[in-house]
Structure 1
Amino acid sequence: MHLNKNMSHYDTAAKDRIPLGEKAAYGTGTLVLNLLPAALGIFAFFLITAFGVDPILAGLLGGLPRLFDAITDPIMGFITDNTKSRWGRRRPYIVVGAILSGTCFALLWQLDPANSQNYTFWYILLFSMAFTIGNTMFATPFVGLGYEMTSDYKERTRLMATSQFMGQIAWMIVPWFWVMIADPDLFDSQAQGVRHLAIYVSGACIVLGIVPGLFCKGIDSSHIDNRAEISFRTLSSNVMGIFRSIGQAFKNAAFVRLCGATFFVFNGFQLVASFSYFIIVFHMFDGDYGATGSWPAWFSTVSAFVTAFLVIPIVSWMANKWGKRKAFIISTVLSIFGYALKWYGFNPENPWLMFMPIPLMSFGIGGLFTLMLSMTADVCDLDELNNGMPRKEGTFAAIYWLMVKLGQALALILSGVVLKLVGFDAGVATQSVETMTNLRIADIIIPASTAALAILMMWNYDITEEKAHQIKEKLIERRGDI
């Protein structure tokens, strides 16, 4: 079947529009999706400084749950795609997963520095595994639900723009956890700060996390056929079904492009994410933590604020005006210019200039998830056209976010390698001029290069607005409007 690739424009039908309140309800889930890992990353730092865990063991505690994640994500995707319930395929898991992940997150950090290192290691590892199960149970169906809340090309972008806007609230708040935990006026010790903040984060995530499960509507699952039976009796056939679904996803060239582009942009961004902190401290303030104060926290908060209020609305407008592929390419090019401006922005003579690159630089991540999640929803339609029922939003969500997590894990490893290569020595108060120059160059070249690779990856992405509507019409003709 040949599908015309020429761009055309369609008005969103009333039945395909999502009410603003429902978009906001979905956005609360995205806030949780960002808040939990962001807080987890900060709290993990204090395993070493507050609870005395050996750095090597701390690294294992960060890595082993990610490997477990790689197993649980596709399994959960298959389960949610094939679930039959009166409440739909996604919503029960979202509610239960929010409660389980939030509860396990709070328990995970109720540690005592007086405990033995062996006890702390196994305590953290076991609760990390339990948290991973709960988080997977929440995140995979939640992302899959977003893919199916509307079948309209443009409304999908509007939904993801709203959800990513709300998700940025997490990145406005979390950088201040560093300041709060270290503040003796708030907490008697870092350990106490971690324990208390973990409870607050947990409560917020439970309350906000169940909202999309209660108020967001997905596809009428009674019209989904060819679903596999999920039971112990069918375990072997279910395992084969998981591998078959994964294979079909990776045969989808458009989806592979989305995964590849996401891996490049996010990996490059994450790889240098900590470098800004080091550059602010050691280049701009010559290793004086007192003079540095809250500048790094403000840098992160302003970045999130600009992403939410400036970048995401512009990206959404560009996508619905010129198409999602063009919007992604434009956004990524702008981010490359933003990375280059960091050379002039991180100026010891004028700290305020550090905010100069943010408006352009923020188009990288702000455009990435707003557009990629919207485009993955379009890909799910193409998969149904090619492979039939059941629709596999959960499987695509699992694989897509697995790419994000693998990129994040690789970035954490490579960032340490880069710091070593440039000669950074955390044990000295003042770094050499050569070290800081090399670090600043890496801070620009790495994300700019990976962004350029992402543009190449997306150059021939071919699901236009016209093609998306033709796919939609074919599906409605085949099985009706669901």
Structure 2
Amino acid sequence: MSQTVHFTTRPEDRISISQKTAYAIGMLVNNTQAAALPAMMIILNLGLGVDVMLVGLIGFIPRIFDAVSDPMVGYISDNVRTRWGRRRPFIFVGALAAGLIFALMWQLPDGYSETFYFWVFMAASILFFLAYTIFATPFVAFGYEMTPDYHERTRLQAFANTVGQLAWLGVPWFYAIMANENLFRDKVHGARTLAIAVGIFIAVLGVVPAIFCREKFASFPKVRARKTFSQEMVDFFKGIAVTFKCKPFVKLCAATFLVFNGFQLGISFSLYIMIFYLFNGDDGNAGKLNGWFGMLTSLCTLGVIPLTAWISTKIGKRSTFLITISLSIVGYALKWFGYNPEHPYWLLFAAPLVAFGTGSLFTLMGSMIADVCDYDELKTKQRREGVFGAIYWWMVKVGMALAGLLTGILLKVSGFDETLGNAQSQETLLMLRVFDIGIPLATSLIAIFIIATYDITENRAHQIRLELESRRGKVGENSGELKQAAD
């Protein structure tokens, strides 16, 4: 086999544990916002009686606003200069606003029409996603620029995603908590109370990276003079077009879109399968199994994340992706045998392998996009982490929105009818299992073929860095120690 070239990390490129911890707390808040809303949306259907198609629209339409707000906030945070930096003011304000809105949006009164709940929650969702964007887009960009080192980027993403994974330990229990009759009058009451707790959590911990992290490119010079609003808009849309022409970035977006949103769409059916197929309409037992499956997947993910980082330093990020996503495909296939009404907890055997997909994806992608930002600077002479991060996460969120919309559509296609309760047809229950397993399996396979052609290797990334440092006048005799090791 050919040799793989490895470069050691310079001491000055290491990120201190305090900075990693502050950033990781922000990742926990970021993941909580991403996970909590979809986990609680089922209450609109099973608690307030809103039709599944309308719930799907609530999940989809606010993402249309993200199509503008995400890259716009990224563009602004790339180009703004304040005494507090480019990213930190947005993170601070976004965390407070998102926490407040999330707590309020679930305080829906009893006894109103389906139309009322639809429009009120739709408006609240749009406001929440705007606040979430103000926090998340600069926060993600912050992580891309904290170190220029190929491997330290992966270590940072691994550390942050390990802490962020704690959100996925708790969120699978949300339905069991909201449906607990010993704690709340009903599921709607449970959602109201839980939303307040989640909102406080987002607001209090979300400001931590804004207060304690320090920006590397806070004073990075602009390459153009002050322009009018219309000129800025022209530059903004030109920048978006240039970003989509960056082939390595487009491949990362496509792979993430397929892997993560295939996973999200699949698990949208899991709770329905547990309630109506495994437990014959028993909310309590279904909620417990859903909690155990989610928690076990998250616990395994905590192990997968550092393992992914370690493997990537040995064989590279691309090869690591191909291995870990292949293992997750095996996990999805095992779920078919795990959905057994006589032995419902067999489903847990699939969790460790499924975790390889969810655990490795954002650890590798966050690090790889940071490499792409260097590649882009070499081409454009601009630091555009905000735009890259915004478009990347916009693709993720659009996929999540499509997952929400398709969930409603595919539930209709399957013949699911909430008024039938546990009398759903066998054909409906079969279709739900096919959607749950087949969709993420197929999308992951396509993603593997896409990343197989990704070409920013460790050696290429190192050469790009040297060229950038030479351009900035920062390269010296100690430009990096080279160590070669055989595969």
Give the TM-score normalised by the residue count of structure 1: 0.92
What CA deviation, in whole Å up to 9, does each residue of 1:353-376 have, x standing for no partner? 211111111111211111111100
Aligned partner (choices 17, 25, 28) of residue 14 of structure 2 = 17
**Residues 172-181 or 77-86, more deviating:** 172-181
Encode CA deviations 1:329-364: one digit per residue, 9 max, x unaligned.
101111111111112223333333211111111111
Per the alignment, residue 401 of structure 2 pairs with 409
User: Would the alpha carbon gap of residues 458 and 83 (structure 1) be closer, same or farther in structure 2, given more than 3 Å must change?
Assistant: same
1:466 counterpart residue number: 459
Q: Deviations over 1:236-265 (max 9, x none)?
A: 111111111111111111001001111111
**Higher RCO (CA < 8 A, seq sep 6+):** 2
Alignment of 1:397 with 2:389, yes or no, is yes
8 Å Cα contact 2:45/2:52 also seen in 1:
yes
Q: Tell me the distance in 2 between the aligned counterparts of 1:75 and 1:58.
A: 27
User: 1:140, 1:398 within 8 Å by CA — same for their partners in 2?
Assistant: yes
Indicate the residue corresponding to 2:70 in structure 1.
73
With over 3 angstroms needed to count, the CA separation of the structure-2 counterparts of 1:56 and 1:264, relative to structure 1, is closer
Counterpart check, 1:134 vs 2:126 = no
323-332 or 297-306, which moves further after superposition?
297-306
Q: Which residue of 2 aligns with 1:39?
A: 36
Identify the residue that residue 447 of structure 1 maps to in structure 2.
440
Which deviates the most, 195-204 or 467-476?
A: 195-204
CA distance change for structure 1 residues 104 and 468 in 2, over 3 Å: closer, same or farther? same
Aligned residue number for residue 150 of structure 1? 147
Q: Report the Cα offset of residue 440 of structure 1.
A: 2.9
For residue 189 of structure 2, the aligned residue among 187, 192, 198 is 192
Report SS of the residue matched to 1:8. Answer: strand
The number of residues matched between the two structures is: 473
Paired position in structure 2 for 1:358: 351
Q: Aligned partners of 2:245 and 2:433: how far apart in 1?
A: 39
Amino acid at match of 1:374: S
Give the match's secondary structure for 2:5.
coil
Point out the more displaced range, 262-271 or 427-436.
427-436
Identity of counterpart residues, as a percentage?
48
Distance 2:49 2:438 in 1: 35
Among 338, 343, 346, the alignment partner of 2:339 is 346
Aligned residue runs from structure 1 range 32-431, under 5 A: 32-51=29-48, 53=50, 57-114=54-111, 120-226=117-223, 229=226, 234-289=228-283, 291-292=285-286, 294-308=288-302, 310-389=303-382, 391-426=383-418, 427-431=420-424
Over 3 Å counting, the alpha-carbon distance change for 1:255 and 1:204 in structure 2 is: same
CA distance in 2, matches of 1:435, 1:117: 25
Which secondary structure state, in structure 1, belongs to the residue aligned with residue 9 of structure 2? coil
Check whether the contact 1:27–1:164 (CA below 8 A) recurs between aligned residues: yes
Please, what TM-score do these two structures have when normalized by structure 2? Answer: 0.91
In structure 2, the CA distance between the partners of 1:345 and 1:228, relative to structure 1 (3 Å rule), is farther
Provide the rounded CA distance (Å) in 2 between the counterparts of 1:78 and 1:373.
Answer: 18
Task: Output one character per residue of 1:134-187: Cα deviation in whole Å (capped at 9) or x when no partner.
Answer: 111101000000000111100111111111111111111112221222223212
Unmatched 5+ stretches in structure 2? 476-487
Structure 1's 182 and 281: CA in aligned 2 closer, same or farther, altered over 3 A? closer
- CA shift, 1:286, in A, is 3.7
Task: Kindly state the Cα deviation for residue 33 of structure 1 after the two structures are TM-superposed.
Answer: 1.2
Deviation at residue 212 of structure 1 after TM alignment: 0.9
Separation in 1, partners of 2:421, 2:220:
64
Match of 2:483 in 1: none
Paired residues of 2:56 and 2:407 also in contact (CA < 8 A): no
Between stretches 48-57 and 38-47, larger displacement belongs to 48-57
- 8 Å CA contact retained: 1:52, 1:113: no
Partner in structure 2 of residue 29 of structure 1: 26
